[in-house]
Amino acid sequence: MLVTFRIVDTQSRLHTKPATITARELAKLVAMLRDYRMVIDPDEGEIDHLPTNFEFNANSIALAKLSGLFDWRDDIIAIVEEGQFLGRTLRVERALEGTDIQLRVSEHIALASDMTLREDTAEKLFAAIGINPAARTSISIDRLSDLLRQPTMAKAFDDLEIRTIYDQLTMTVTTDCGEQQPRLTWA
């Protein structure tokens, strides 16, 4: 089994509201993402051909290119701008079959890469930082940064033979997320 670690922010207030998009707009978006060889992160159980629940990183796509797909709609432009400004992914989602497809700014901060570990390696990481993953599903980046600065922490990772993970986490906690309140989550 795999455990994925990612930076999210569920506390900061977003200024945009989700916008409804049509199936045709969704198809154009997915085609453009594939043309750009962009990673589409579909939810479990989604069909790869045309998913209706997925996230994508719009930070490397020109605002004009995305806005043009949606006929320059103000609500879409605002969502893309806010997502790019905050360094977050955008989320396409359909809550239930037969309901509207929505585009919104995601909780996922895309400024730092996700980290996927085998379950046994993730358990070593949790042991090194002293977290019980059954009791918690996240830690604030500030708290993780404080833990990693402790003089004994590098040794704990070395003893468990996961020094590269220590190095990656150290880089992750230095990611500037602006005024957001980032947390490292795992699932």
Report yes or no: 179 and 7 within 8 Å, Cβ to Cβ: no
Predicted TM-score of the model (pTM) = 0.85
As averages over each run of 10 residues, the pLDDT of the chain (187 residues) reads 93 95 94 89 79 91 92 96 95 86 95 92 96 94 95 94 95 89 94
Domain ranges of the chain: 7-109, 115-186
pLDDT at position 39 = 79
Query: Cα(77)–Cα(142) distance, rounded to whole angstroms?
Result: 32
- What is the DSSP track for 108-125? EETTS--EEEEHHHHHHH
pLDDT at position 77 = 96
